[in-house]
Structure 1
Amino acid sequence: MAREVDYEPRSVKRLLAEMKDIAELMIDLSYSAVLLDSDEVAEEVLQLESEMDVLQLRTHMSLLMASRTPDDAEALAPVLGIVGATEKVSDATGDIAKVVLEDIRLPDAIRAALPEAVETLVRARVDPDSRFAGETLGGLNLETETGVRAIAIRRAGEWILNPERETHLEPADVVLFRGLEEGIAGVYQSTTGEAYVPPDPPEPDTPDLERAMDSVVLMKNMSELAVDLAYGAVLFDSEALAEEVLNLEAEVDALQSRFEAWTLRAAGRVEDPVSLRGLVHLARSTEVISDAALEISEGVLRGIASHPVIAEAVSESDEVLVRERIAAGSDLDGTTLGDAMVKTETGMRVIGVRRVNEASAADERDDWVVSPGPNTELRAENVLLAKGPRTGADRLREACGETSDAQ
């Protein structure tokens, strides 16, 4: 039965921020449900989808109450677009969760392929005897020591989104950790008292199926990055970030075409073609997420100024999202993220690198590195996309040797 929703006088700014946080969490959880083949995690996605429906209705109510003149309607129209696109992200992640809940067939190898999406997401319950129990995230210093971060905590049925350094971990908390697999293993064992067992990588049935899975994993990474950048483009009124969303959406479309070709070829060669059905669902939902990211940033691309409610949200934010191009001969030209100690020296976490392809052929696209690691090489003309404190953005700009696109 649908939940009854009454009008509540809540800030549109707060409602938008909550929708953004839930949408990003749902992307992580939905793919994690597939990876872990976990009905429990998939059910959490559907609960969050229901919560998103309520937030969308309340945001619409608040926007209608705020619109009194044609000028108000014009200014608020892009905000309505953001709400609608965020709902599409929510629906698409719900569809991904249903791949697990409805037992839609997937190739066995997909659960080994998804962890290769650079970062792994695991669900860990805090054991009462764990050394983490009672500690704050800041005191544990996980991200600096292990490269693993806690992205959400479920405590007694309530979610703590984007937990802060002061957030304590309590016994029985369910924590979602994200990071490189080598760091995840130690953090998982310290949290639960149990050894982390990664998925066993079975061999794909055919090279075509392997290529299809590689395509859908890359689509997943790019769609996640596109959503992150889209919200950043809106929050900081950054056309530069919105253009990167446009670039990513085009890349996902191209990958979708390749995926369809490889999947159709594989269908004629695998023993059970029905096992590819879930893979098709994943690819279709992932493309919807990418398209929704472009819709979120569409107002910025069209030159429509951000509504004051968004500007107010930015003024209260300590974190910025920036795009920087590495200049020839700069401190970062010819090094790696690890050797340059970018995170340590600047405080900024690089979430994507675009390698500009200067080939003249029309079909030559730029290369992307999503969630780059310490061994990622950096060269002149590479475009870095990074998140972190405002003061860190200035330090990153200096290291790149270029004029900043920071907002």
Structure 2
Amino acid sequence: MPGRVEYEPASVKDLLAEMKDTAELLIDLSYSAVLHGSPAIAEEVLELEERMDVLQLRARMSLLLAARNPEDAEALAPVLGIIGAAEKVSDASGDIAKVVLEEAGLPDAIRDALPEAVERLVRAELAASSAYAGRTLADVNLETETGVRVIAVRRGGDWNPNPGPTTALEAGDVLLLRGPEESIGDVYERATGATYDPPEPADPDIADLERAVDSLVLMKNMSELAVDLAYGSVLFDSDDIAEEVVELEAEVDALEARFEAWTLRAAADVADPVSLRGLVQIANATEVISDAALEISEGVLRGLDTHVVVQEAVEESDEVIVRVAVAPDSDLDGTTLGDAAVKTATGMRVIAVRRPEADADAASGLRADTEDAWVIQPGPATALRAGDVLLAKGTRAGAERLRALAGAED
């Protein structure tokens, strides 16, 4: 049974930021549990879902105390909507995880059809005898030495969804590790003291399964981005970013519809169509997540004033999420993110690129044939051209430098 939740003083902004990190981690873990066929990761999703329930209750308590008159209630209504939408993201992520735990019906060969670029995700309980125990992530220097990242740490019922260099690791901690196939096993064994047994490969029983898996990966990445942008639009009171959520939600819905149609067609070619029921459940949950992202940004889209409890946090924060269009003949037109050294020159991290016209080779047969194409998690080789819209995170000063590089008007 869930424990009693009591009021604890906390800023609404801090709670929203933690809910944002938790929502993104929930999406990541739930899809990863499916893609890697991992009940252990799926169980962690349900643990994290309980954490989100606590955050929602605490946020509601803080909002009730902040409302002192009808004007406050009116201004806080959109924030309550954000909390309700976060609950939908949490529940939908749990539904995706339950596809694995309840064996709702998934092709056995999904993990073997994963693109080589997709890193592995494993759950590791830190042993007392591990060389990592009692040290910080900076001291362990895990990512630099192995390429494996600790994406979250659970200590009992407490979660750290965004561990950093100063995060201390203790015996008994549950580490969620992501990294390349060639090194994830060694790190797992050093952390747990147990042998890493990779899952046995399965024979593909469905034609064109690779395209379905590519679409699952894309739905995961786009759903995470939609939630990230939606919270960013609220936390930084950005109409521009809220408009991008609208664009992205339409793209995710179209992709989900194509994926669902593919599943129904594939069901005609398998001996037991019920074995694909889990894919339909994943598609439905994906739509819920994208709709919830739109709900989160609804107050911004409707032009409602930001309540003072959020506005003060916006003014205090130096971090921003910005939308910047690449102008013709600018420093970014006709180059790549790496060649332009965008991160070094501006300090901004480009988290997505939206193209005004879809590349002919960008979409698989499952992808929605929409006017816009998205590059999620762009890298140094990502090409830029006039008309591209960059979505980036960083400081306000860095945002101005990025606008200058892109030749964007103020």
Same fold (TM over 0.5): yes
For 1:201 and 1:400, locate their aligned partners in 2 and report how far apart those are by CA, in whole Å.
Answer: 47
Q: What residue number does 1:205 align with?
A: 206
Q: What residue number does 2:261 align with?
A: 261
1:218 and 2:218 matched: yes
1:189 and 2:195 matched: no
For 2:141 and 2:336, locate their aligned partners in 1 and report how far apart those are by CA, in whole Å.
Answer: 23
Q: What residue number does 2:58 align with?
A: 58
Q: What residue number does 1:327 align with?
A: 327
| TM-aligned CA deviation for residue 326 of structure 1 | 1.5
1:379 to 379, 385, 393: 385
- Is the contact made by 1:124 and 1:188 (CA closer than 8 Å) also made in structure 2? no
- The amino acid of 1:250's aligned partner reads A
- Per-residue Cα deviation, 1:365-391 (whole angstroms, up to 9, x for no partner): 111111122322211211111223344
For 2:324, what is the secondary structure of its paired residue? strand
- Is the contact made by 1:333 and 1:379 (CA closer than 8 Å) also made in structure 2? yes
- Is the contact made by 1:152 and 1:162 (CA closer than 8 Å) also made in structure 2? yes
For 1:338, what is the secondary structure of its paired residue? coil
Q: What residue number does 1:275 align with?
A: 275
- Is the contact made by 1:241 and 1:322 (CA closer than 8 Å) also made in structure 2? yes
| TM-aligned CA deviation for residue 273 of structure 1 | 1.3
Q: What residue number does 2:239 align with?
A: 239
- Is the contact made by 1:86 and 1:292 (CA closer than 8 Å) also made in structure 2? yes
Aligned Cα root-mean-square deviation (Å): 3.1
| TM-aligned CA deviation for residue 116 of structure 1 | 6.5
For 1:378, what is the secondary structure of its paired residue? coil
Change (3 A) 1:271 1:251: same
- Is the contact made by 2:149 and 2:177 (CA closer than 8 Å) also made in structure 1? yes
For 2:154, what is the secondary structure of its paired residue? strand
| TM-aligned CA deviation for residue 9 of structure 1 | 4.2
- Is the contact made by 1:232 and 1:241 (CA closer than 8 Å) also made in structure 2? yes
Most deviating of 190-199 and 50-59: 190-199
| TM-aligned CA deviation for residue 108 of structure 1 | 2.3
For 2:151 and 2:16, locate their aligned partners in 1 and report how far apart those are by CA, in whole Å.
Answer: 19
| TM-aligned CA deviation for residue 147 of structure 1 | 7.2
For 2:168, what is the secondary structure of its paired residue? coil
For 1:143 and 1:351, locate their aligned partners in 2 and report how far apart those are by CA, in whole Å.
Answer: 20
Gaps of 5+ in 1: none
| TM-aligned CA deviation for residue 321 of structure 1 | 1.5
| TM-aligned CA deviation for residue 186 of structure 1 | 3.9
Change (3 A) 1:258 1:191: closer
For 2:89, what is the secondary structure of its paired residue? helix
| TM-aligned CA deviation for residue 29 of structure 1 | 1.6
- The amino acid of 2:186's aligned partner reads Q
For 2:235 and 2:116, locate their aligned partners in 1 and report how far apart those are by CA, in whole Å.
Answer: 31
Q: What residue number does 1:73 align with?
A: 73
Change (3 A) 1:51 1:125: closer
Q: What residue number does 1:394 align with?
A: 400
Q: What residue number does 1:164 align with?
A: 164
Change (3 A) 1:152 1:401: same
- The amino acid of 1:263's aligned partner reads T
For 2:164 and 2:230, locate their aligned partners in 1 and report how far apart those are by CA, in whole Å.
Answer: 23
For 2:357 and 2:255, locate their aligned partners in 1 and report how far apart those are by CA, in whole Å.
Answer: 17
Change (3 A) 1:133 1:348: farther
| TM-aligned CA deviation for residue 117 of structure 1 | 8.0
- The amino acid of 2:390's aligned partner reads L
For 1:336, what is the secondary structure of its paired residue? coil
Q: What residue number does 1:339 align with?
A: 339
- Is the contact made by 1:117 and 1:217 (CA closer than 8 Å) also made in structure 2? no
| TM-aligned CA deviation for residue 340 of structure 1 | 2.8
For 2:184 and 2:17, locate their aligned partners in 1 and report how far apart those are by CA, in whole Å.
Answer: 29
For 2:64, what is the secondary structure of its paired residue? helix
| TM-aligned CA deviation for residue 81 of structure 1 | 0.5
Q: What residue number does 1:24 align with?
A: 24
Aligned residues: 397
- Is the contact made by 2:128 and 2:172 (CA closer than 8 Å) also made in structure 1? yes
- The amino acid of 1:189's aligned partner reads D
- Is the contact made by 2:188 and 2:196 (CA closer than 8 Å) also made in structure 1? no
- The amino acid of 2:246's aligned partner reads L
Q: What residue number does 2:314 align with?
A: 314
| TM-aligned CA deviation for residue 56 of structure 1 | 1.9
Q: What residue number does 2:362 align with?
A: none
| TM-aligned CA deviation for residue 191 of structure 1 | 6.2
Most deviating of 339-348 and 124-133: 124-133
Gaps of 5+ in 2: 360-368
Query: Could you tell me the TM-score, scaled by structure 2's length?
Result: 0.85
| TM-aligned CA deviation for residue 15 of structure 1 | 2.7
For 1:2 and 1:137, locate their aligned partners in 2 and report how far apart those are by CA, in whole Å.
Answer: 31
For 1:322 and 1:120, locate their aligned partners in 2 and report how far apart those are by CA, in whole Å.
Answer: 31
- Is the contact made by 1:34 and 1:97 (CA closer than 8 Å) also made in structure 2? yes
For 1:310 and 1:324, locate their aligned partners in 2 and report how far apart those are by CA, in whole Å.
Answer: 24
- Is the contact made by 1:357 and 1:365 (CA closer than 8 Å) also made in structure 2? yes
Change (3 A) 1:23 1:268: same
- Is the contact made by 1:337 and 1:376 (CA closer than 8 Å) also made in structure 2? yes
2:372 to 340, 344, 366: 366
For 1:338 and 1:144, locate their aligned partners in 2 and report how far apart those are by CA, in whole Å.
Answer: 20
For 2:357, what is the secondary structure of its paired residue? coil
- Is the contact made by 1:35 and 1:115 (CA closer than 8 Å) also made in structure 2? no
Q: What residue number does 2:363 align with?
A: none
- Is the contact made by 1:131 and 1:191 (CA closer than 8 Å) also made in structure 2? no
For 2:160, what is the secondary structure of its paired residue? strand
Change (3 A) 1:189 1:146: closer
For 1:131 and 1:390, locate their aligned partners in 2 and report how far apart those are by CA, in whole Å.
Answer: 40
Change (3 A) 1:343 1:175: farther
- Is the contact made by 2:355 and 2:388 (CA closer than 8 Å) also made in structure 1? yes
- Is the contact made by 1:347 and 1:388 (CA closer than 8 Å) also made in structure 2? yes
- Is the contact made by 1:327 and 1:380 (CA closer than 8 Å) also made in structure 2? yes
- Per-residue Cα deviation, 1:48-72 (whole angstroms, up to 9, x for no partner): 2222223222322332232232211
- Per-residue Cα deviation, 1:286-328 (whole angstroms, up to 9, x for no partner): 1111100000001111111221211233344343222111122
Change (3 A) 1:358 1:42: closer
| TM-aligned CA deviation for residue 240 of structure 1 | 0.7
For 1:196 and 1:391, locate their aligned partners in 2 and report how far apart those are by CA, in whole Å.
Answer: 48
